[in-house]
Structure 1
Amino acid sequence: MAVMKFFIVPLILIAFMSHLCESFELERKDFESEKSLMQLYKRWSSHHRISRNANEMHKRFKVFKDNAKQVFKKNQMGKSLKLKLNQFADMSDDEFRSIHSSNITHYKNLHAKTIGRVGGFMYEHAKEIPSSIDWRKKGAVNAIKDQGRCGSCWAFAAVAAVESIHQIKTNELVSLSEQEVVDCDYKDGGCRGGHYNSAFEFIMENDGVTAEDNYPYFEGDGYCRRRGGYKERVTIDGYENVPRNNEHALMKAVAHQPVAVAIASGGFDFKFYGQGMFTEENFCGYNIDHTVVVVGYGTDEDGDYWIIRNQYGTQWGMNGYMKMQRGARNPQGVCGMAMQPAYPVKY
C-alpha cells in the first residue's frame, strides 16, 4: 500500500472535557412568554446557522418550544447529565429517527449466515489491562465527523474503527471514505442502514478503502465509483466480535483498540445529550438503531465510564463525544452497547 500523508489531530481539539464550541445557554426568562420563546428560537437558529422560511418556522416553533422546555426542566434536576439545545431542537422525534436512525438489526440478521469472524476473540487472555485509556490522546482517532441527513452511522463506525487500527499498527492517521462504503457495499442499504460487520467484509473483499479526499462524503446514496481506481487504500485482515453482553471483555478489547458498538438511540436524553454521565437510568429507546465507536474508558467523580465517539458533528454532546456509564446492572450495557461489539483486525 502506498504511504499516505496524514495529520495528527491536535490533542487540545479532542480533549474529553473541553468545550471549545460556544455553548447555547438557557435561562428561566426565556420561557416567560411566547415572545421570549420566539426570541429564543431565533437566537438558536442563528447560533446553529439554520435557516427556515416563515411558514416552516411557524410549524416547527411548537416542536422547538416543547423540546426547549423539557431540556431546561431536566437540567434543573441536579444530575450529572446535562442536555443542550443542539442542532436537532426543532425536529420532531419521528423526523429525527427517519433521518438519522439505521436499520442495524435487519442488516445484521440479513447477513447472519455470510458474516463470520476471522478468528475467535484475540483478547480473551489479555492481562495487565490499564485502568483507563483514551485513544484520542494516543493520536489514533480522527476529528469528529457528521453523518448528516443519512442513516450511514454503520459505515462511519466501521471506517472509524479501521482508521484507528491502521494508526495503531502503522502510526499513520488517515481520514478514510465513508462514502465509498455507503455507495459500494451492496450488502448494506446505504442511507437506509447497514451493519459494521458487513462493512468490514466489504473492506476486506475490495482491497481496502480509499482516503476521504479521494471519495468525499455528501450525505446521500450515490453510484459506486470504486472502479475508477485509487492506489492509496487502507486494508484490514479481518474482524472479530467481542463476546456478547460482557463489558469486561469489551474493556479488554478497547484496551487494545477502538471498538464499534450498536446501540439504541431513540430517547430524548440521547438526542439532546450535552455533558455528564449517560446512565442506564436515561431512556435510550427500544430498538438498536445506531452505531458508535468506543474509543476509551476511565473513572471519575461520576463513576466508571466509556468514551463514546458519535458522528453527529461537534455541536452534539461534548464536542461530539459522550461519557456513558460502564458496568451497568443489565449485562447488555447502557443502551445495549455490549450486545454486539466488533473490531477490525490488522496484522
Structure 2
Amino acid sequence: MTVMKFLIVPLVLVAFSCNICESFELERKDFESEKSLMQLYKRWSSHHRISRNANEMHNRFKVFKNNAKHVFKVNLMGKSLKLKLNQFADMSDDEFRNMYSSNITYYKDLHAKKIEATGGRIGGFMYEHANNIPSSIDWRKKGAVNAIKNQGRCGSCWAFAAVAAVESIHQIKTNELVSLSEEEVLDCDYRDGGCRGGFYNSAFEFMMDNDGVTIEDNYPYYEGNGYCRRRGGRNKRVRIDGYENVPRNNEYALMKAVAHQPVAVAIASGGSDFKFYGGGMFTENDFCGFNIDHTVVVVGYGTDEDGDYWIIRNQYGHRWGMNGYMKMQRGAHSPQGVCGMAMQPAYPVKY
C-alpha cells in the first residue's frame, strides 16, 4: 500500500523540551576512522547496556556504521526533524521491521470481512457535528494517558494501541487512570495473530465479547504469545460499550475525535528516519515506508514554530523519540496524512 510520505501553550512546549532525553551525541571526529567508529560503537553499547559477543559485534558494527552516518547526515540538514542513535542503532531496517512491525493490513481486512458477515457492532461517527473544537489539546496534561510502555520484540503494537485508547476513555469518563493488560489481549484475542500482528478494532471487539480487559497487575506483559489465562473472582476489569471509525483520509474529522479522546491510528513505520526519530517535526517529506505496519495513539494536537502537529504516543519505551512520543505534521498535502495516519483511525466508546 503506497503512503505519501503549534499557537501552543507553554505547558505543551515543556512536554517536548526533553526531546533528546538520554540521547547519544555524535561529533564529526567520531567518523574520522574505523577506530573512532568502533570506539563510538562501544560507547553506544555501554550507554544502552547492550552486550554482544565478538563475532556478533563484528557483524553488527557494519550495520551500526551505516546507521550512525545516516543519523549524523540528517541532523546536519538543518531540518526540524532530528534523529538519534537509540537502542536500535545496530539493527538493519529489515531486521527491525521483521521484529517490531505488525501485519496490520491482513488482520484489518480479515476483521472487516467478519464484521460484514455478522453485522458487527461498530457505530457511526459520534463527533461528526462537534463544534467549538479547541485549537490545541494534550490529553497527557489532563491525566488521561499512562506512562510510555514498551512492546519489546513482538509485533503487538495493535494490542498496545487498543489498550491505551481504552485506558484514556476510561479515565475521561470515570476520572480513574488504570494500566490495563496488553498481554490478555495478546493471548486471548483469537481473531488476531499475537506477536505476528493484529488490528485494534478486533481488539475492541474482543473486549466487548469478554467482559472488558483486566488490569496489568493481574496479567503482566512479557513480550510474547502465551496461553490465555483468564482470571475470575475479584478480577478488576475495564469495559467499553463499542467503538467507531473516524472517516477515512480526513484530518479535520480526526481532529474532532482527538479533541474528545485519544484515537488509535495505523501508520507506516519503515525506514531509518522513523526508527531513529529523536525530536522535531516528522513531516510528509520524511521517509516512513510504504506499508501500514504499525499502530500508535494520537493523544493531542497543537501548533508551534514548526507548524501544525499531532502528538503521537508510541510504545518503543521512553528512549525512543521525545520520551516515547513523536511530533508529526498535521495537515499534510495528502489526505492520507503523514505515514498514512489518517487512513483508518478508530476509538473505543464508553458511556
Structure 1 contact 117–240 (Cα < 8 Å) conserved: no
Q: Aligned partners of 2:145, 2:326: CA distance in 1, in Å? A: 15
Q: Aligned partners of 1:16, 1:211: CA distance in 2, in Å? A: 29
Matched, 1:299 2:308: no
Deviation at 1:22, TM superposition (A): 2.4
Q: Aligned partners of 2:60, 2:38: CA distance in 1, in Å? A: 11
Structure 2 contact 20–84 (Cα < 8 Å) conserved: no
Query: The residue matched to 1:291 in structure 2 has which SS?
Result: strand
Aligned equivalent of 2:328, options 292, 309, 324:
324
**Which residue does the alignment assign to 1:21?**
21
Quick one: higher RCO (CA 8 Å, sep 6+), 1 or 2?
2
Q: Aligned partners of 1:267, 1:190: CA distance in 2, in Å? A: 24
Q: Aligned partners of 2:81, 2:121: CA distance in 1, in Å? A: 37
Identify if the C-alpha distance between structure 1 residues 117 and 128 changes in structure 2 by more than 3 Å, giving closer, same or farther.
Answer: farther
Matched, 1:166 2:170: yes
Deviation at 1:87, TM superposition (A): 0.5
Q: Aligned partners of 1:208, 1:18: CA distance in 2, in Å? A: 36
Q: Aligned partners of 1:324, 1:146: CA distance in 2, in Å? A: 20
Structure 1 contact 241–343 (Cα < 8 Å) conserved: yes
Aligned equivalent of 1:202, options 197, 203, 206:
206
Identify if the C-alpha distance between structure 1 residues 77 and 144 changes in structure 2 by more than 3 Å, giving closer, same or farther.
Answer: same
Q: Aligned partners of 1:327, 1:117: CA distance in 2, in Å? A: 31
Matches within 5 A, 1:1-347: 15-19=15-19, 21-115=21-115, 116-228=120-232, 231-347=235-351
Structure 2 contact 83–276 (Cα < 8 Å) conserved: yes
Normalising to structure 2: TM-score of the pair? Answer: 0.94
Q: Aligned partners of 1:15, 1:76: CA distance in 2, in Å? A: 25
Q: Aligned partners of 2:108, 2:79: CA distance in 1, in Å? A: 36
Q: Aligned partners of 2:230, 2:178: CA distance in 1, in Å? A: 18
Identity of aligned residues (%): 87
Q: Give every structure 1 segment of 4 or more consecutive aligned residues whose post-TM-superposition deviation is greater than 4 Å.
A: 227-230
Number of residue-to-residue matches in the alignment: 336
Give the alignment's Cα RMSD to 1 decimal. Answer: 1.4
Identify if the C-alpha distance between structure 1 residues 260 and 113 changes in structure 2 by more than 3 Å, giving closer, same or farther.
Answer: same
Q: Aligned partners of 2:273, 2:47: CA distance in 1, in Å? A: 21
Structure 2 contact 23–86 (Cα < 8 Å) conserved: no
Query: The residue matched to 1:308 in structure 2 has which SS?
Result: strand
Deviation at 1:228, TM superposition (A): 5.0
Unaligned runs of 5+ in 2: 1-10
AA matched with 2:268: A
Identify if the C-alpha distance between structure 1 residues 259 and 76 changes in structure 2 by more than 3 Å, giving closer, same or farther.
Answer: same
Query: The residue matched to 2:35 in structure 1 has which SS?
Result: helix
Query: The residue matched to 1:262 in structure 2 has which SS?
Result: strand
